[in-house]
Amino acid sequence: MTFALSMNKIIYIAGSQNSGTTLLNIILGGHSNLVGLGEIFQLLKQKKHGLYLSERLEENCSCGVKVKDCAFWGEVSKRLDARHGEHINQRYNIVRDVFLEQFGPDRIMVDSSKSLSYLKNLADVPGIDFVPVHITRDVRAYCISRIDRAFRDNKKRKMRKATIHLRKWYRGNLEMSQYLETGNRPYFRLGYEELSLFPDKLVPALSAWLGLSYEPGMLNLAPEGCHIVHGNRMRDQPEKNRTIRYDNRWFYRSEWLAPFILSSKTRKLNNKLVYQNEINRLWEQ
């Protein structure tokens, strides 16, 4: 089914941590009709001393200037300061207002807030219509990535084992896929593996589904055309390293092996969520 984007739509990228959500945001943000804004809801979260966004004003936006000087997030921050204490959904509407003023009604926001709870939030914001794109990374690659992250961040020993991450992957992705399957909203599902191994097939397929013409420049990865503040480290990568490259650490590691063999339901969900386009050869039809 092809789903044409109309005005006033938002593309919502859903998925687990370390699953390519920022990569997908940068790719989509490279389309002339779309603007990548990273993880919007995370920036609107209330922290002890104000919003998360206000704590990051001195950091860089992917557009190349500090957040406080960014034409987009700087303005959002000023308006949010003036309207203290509102519900997060009202704050989201302010982001939406600034977006419409700056980019006009023909451009579409790409939000990679990822989680199911924020997706449900979005469904509650009046006057906002959105289309979910669910990206899932192969559970084996996900486990290795989370284990390495736990070592890097000096997390507890149990976080350095695959089982806990495999379970978290299963719960999170099952919940997300069930929510999308039982709703009446069209959605697109893809694997991080499909995206990074066959970007020239998958990105045109996703563009067509969104009702957009494919633009080859989308694969050039140009975060400076986006306004991504909260997202993973790839938004800061120097220009020379910018290519879509598959992270294949799990090929030569084995921590994932035992829990993966023991859980047939995880293997089944992994095939369904990560390799569906490839198995169905969407791009050959």
Name the residues that contact Zn ion, by CB under 5 A: 61, 63, 70, 227
CB atoms within 10 A of CB 249: 13
At closest approach, how far in Å is the CB of 14 from Zn ion? 23
Task: Decide the pairing of beta strands 46-47 and 50-51.
Answer: antiparallel
81 touches 129 (CB < 8 A): no
| Spatial separation of the C-alpha atoms in residues 123 and 260, rounded to whole Å | 34
Q: Which is nearer to Zn ion, 70 or 108 (CB)?
A: 70
Q: Which is nearer to Zn ion, 137 or 227 (CB)?
A: 227
At closest approach, how far in Å is the CB of 50 from Zn ion? 19
Q: Which is nearer to Zn ion, 225 or 259 (CB)?
A: 225
At closest approach, how far in Å is the CB of 37 from Zn ion? 9
In the chain, at which residue ranges do the beta strands (DSSP E only) sit? 9-14, 34-36, 46-47, 50-51, 108-114, 129-136, 188-191
Question: Both ends of the chain: CA-CA distance in Å?
Answer: 13
At closest approach, how far in Å is the CB of 61 from Zn ion? 3
CB atoms within 10 A of CB 211: 14
At closest approach, how far in Å is the CB of 222 from Zn ion? 13
Q: Which is nearer to Zn ion, 165 or 227 (CB)?
A: 227
Q: For the residues of 189-220, what is the DSSP string, one character each? A: EEEHHHHHHSHHHHHHHHHHHHT----GGGGG
Q: Which is nearer to Zn ion, 63 or 76 (CB)?
A: 63
Q: Which is nearer to Zn ion, 27 or 37 (CB)?
A: 37
At closest approach, how far in Å is the CB of 80 from Zn ion? 16
Let me know how long the chain is: 285
Tokens read off for 74: 């700087």
